[in-house]
Structure 1
Amino acid sequence: MTHIYTGNGKGKSTAAFGLAVRAAMADLKVYIVQFAKTEKYHETRIESYVKWIHIEQWGTPEKMASGLKQLWQNVAAHGDDVVILDEITIALMMNHITLDSVITLIKAKPKNVELVLTGINCPKPLYEYADVVTEMTQIKHYYQKGITSRAGFDC
């Protein structure tokens, strides 16, 4: 199955990481790739606690492009069951990868692998290739009151 978690609301990555923990607790191997992130946020520490979760950060355009080309070979080599491409839509918005490359990636997905794509402004053409599409809508957020990111909740 292929999932898309998108929209302007909070919780897209959180939902994907929740799915990762659930899968890992069922002894499934989870491979998380964070696009557009180079800092080790708190969520990356999960690798230290859950043995079936592996996280890589592809924060540079070169790493994004080369990583996408080799993704399924790496997944097959490691025997991953779940692949989460966190903030992949940011890479699309910044033109670091193309929509066609993501569509090709989805079409090439092995049947036994669960794929999750997250990020704001997901291009609607990708919806056609997904089995689950969730749009998170922001109704209210404490950022509007001037409260910045809080450790453990936002970063």
Structure 2
Amino acid sequence: MKGYIHIYTGNGKGKTTASLGLAVRAALADKKVFIGQFIKGMEYSELKLPDYIPNIKIYQFGRDCFIYNEPTEEDILAARQGLDICREVLKEGEWDVVILDELNIALYYNLFQVQEVLEILDNKKENVEVVITGRYAPKELIDKADLVTEMVEIKHYYNQGVEARKGVEY
């Protein structure tokens, strides 16, 4: 079976959530799911998912959420190491679904280059389904993808001062 490339992008809420929904669906269909989270290094609720569904594995390739500051050398190193791991995961083809969560944000902050990601996607095993999330998907990735969904924010309670809530936003 051919694996396709999905992108979930846009300024609306729900990109990671949609990818996690797909992960659960795939895992419950006896598929192996690898989730690599770029940028993220904090304690998100989804990190408990492998405790409940053993054929899902989640790895974080971030140290902290630096999006309000400039990335440090350590942030760049963590992202690059994560990209190297994902390169091998996609090339080996052991996982049925590979989610590259917030990869678009890593690109936006120049933690690595879009050309590197395109090369990795060109060398993935044909059967691997890939999901890439994050705002600011570059045109080159959009052109490469088989499915692109843009989440559009129409209204968000964050603008009324509601902070991120455990179990809903993290």
Higher mean displacement: 123-132 or 21-30: 123-132
* Aligned 8 A contact 2:7 2:132 in 1: yes
CA distance in 2, matches of 1:91, 1:33: 12
- Aligned-pair Cα RMSD in Å: 1.4
Structure 2, unaligned stretches of length 5 or more?
63-74
* 1:7-22 alignment, distance < 5 Å: 7-22=10-25
Structure 1, unaligned stretches of length 5 or more?
none
CA distance in 1, matches of 2:152, 2:159: 15
CA distance in 2, matches of 1:143, 1:154: 11
Residue 39 of structure 2 is matched in structure 1 by 36
TM-score by length of 2: 0.86
Q: Structure 1: which 4+ aligned runs deviate by more than 3 Å?
A: 74-78
* 1:83-94 alignment, distance < 5 Å: 83-94=98-109
Q: Do structure 1's residue 52 and structure 2's residue 55 form an aligned pair? A: yes
CA distance in 2, matches of 1:76, 1:23: 20
TM-score by length of 1: 0.94
User: Secondary structure of the residue that 2:58 maps to in structure 1?
Assistant: strand
Residue 67 of structure 2 is matched in structure 1 by none
Find the partner of 1:142 among 157, 162, 168: 157
User: Secondary structure of the residue that 1:134 maps to in structure 2?
Assistant: strand
Identity of aligned residues (%): 46
* Aligned 8 A contact 2:6 2:148 in 1: yes
Q: 1:63: Cα distance to partner?
A: 2.9
User: Secondary structure of the residue that 1:22 maps to in structure 2?
Assistant: helix
Q: 1:40: Cα distance to partner?
A: 2.0
